[in-house]
Amino acid sequence: MTSGSPERMMGAVTASMAERTGRTLDEWVLAVEDSGVDALDQKAVRAWLKEAHGLGQNTQWAIAFEAARRHGWVEPDVEGYIAGQYAGAKAPLRPTFDRVRELLTSFGDDVTVEGRGGYTPFVRRRQFAAVAASTRTRVDLGLRFADAPTSALLVASKGPGQSTHKVGLAAPEDVTPEVEALARAAWEQNG
């Protein structure tokens, strides 16, 4: 597990939860169950926690995740998350995602792919890229830069993931040598 892994971050959030919120994780899960919100609807649980209790995002996620898990939800593996992102109307974007994934993982054995519901992070020492099916016709390749290269393709962004910039891609052919150079620069800056 890397120092910034989701598991370690979740552990840090839950370890300090009682001190920060006045309730333990178990007590929050009971509160969710008593609220009438469907514990399996993590989005609704997070909204309730924010609106009714003013909890921060990481705390919301930890509680919603645990409430759903205790009610039978099983977290997908990385491939399950990816399959969910490229299902239905966004299924035609899967070849574009696959091409981007092939590129990003070719940079080195130190690249790992993580699972998330709305995007796919690519991590070296820290997240350097994230890919999301942003619309039915476009995949966004988010890149994290400390010092962004100059490129007409880059758009400043606060997502997906920890990205500072993104590039829109409509087809596998849009992964050009310039896109590769931008992605490699993000990989190098986050190593």
Per-domain residue ranges of the chain: 6-70, 78-189
pLDDT score of 2: 42
pLDDT score of 117: 79
Q: Which residues contact 160 (CB under 8 A, 6 or more apart)?
A: 118, 119, 130, 131, 132, 134, 140, 142, 166
Measured distance CA(55)–CA(118) in Å, rounded: 21
Greatest alpha-carbon pair distance for the chain in Å reads: 54
Whether residue 6 is preceded by a cis peptide bond, meaning omega within 30 degrees of 0, is no
Q: Is residue 129 scored above 80 in pLDDT?
A: yes
Average pLDDT value for residue range 118-145: 95
Measured distance CA(63)–CA(47) in Å, rounded: 11
Q: How confident is the model at residue 108 (pLDDT cuts 50, 70, 90)?
A: very high
Average pLDDT value for residue range 124-142: 95
Measured distance CA(134)–CA(141) in Å, rounded: 10
- The residue count of the chain comes to 191
Measured distance CA(145)–CA(188) in Å, rounded: 9
pLDDT score of 18: 86
2-41 pLDDT tens trace: 444 556 667 777 888 888 899 999 999 999 999 999 998 9
Average pLDDT value for residue range 75-81: 85
**Are β-strands 120-123 and 155-156 bridged in parallel, bridged antiparallel, or unpaired?**
unpaired
pLDDT score of 175: 97
Average pLDDT, the chain: 91
pLDDT score of 1: 39
Measured distance CA(18)–CA(147) in Å, rounded: 39
The topology under which CATH files domain 78-189 is Yope Regulator; Chain: A, (3.30.1460)
pLDDT score of 9: 66
Q: Is residue 45 scored above 50 in pLDDT?
A: yes
Candidates 123, 129, 180; CA nearest to 9 is 123
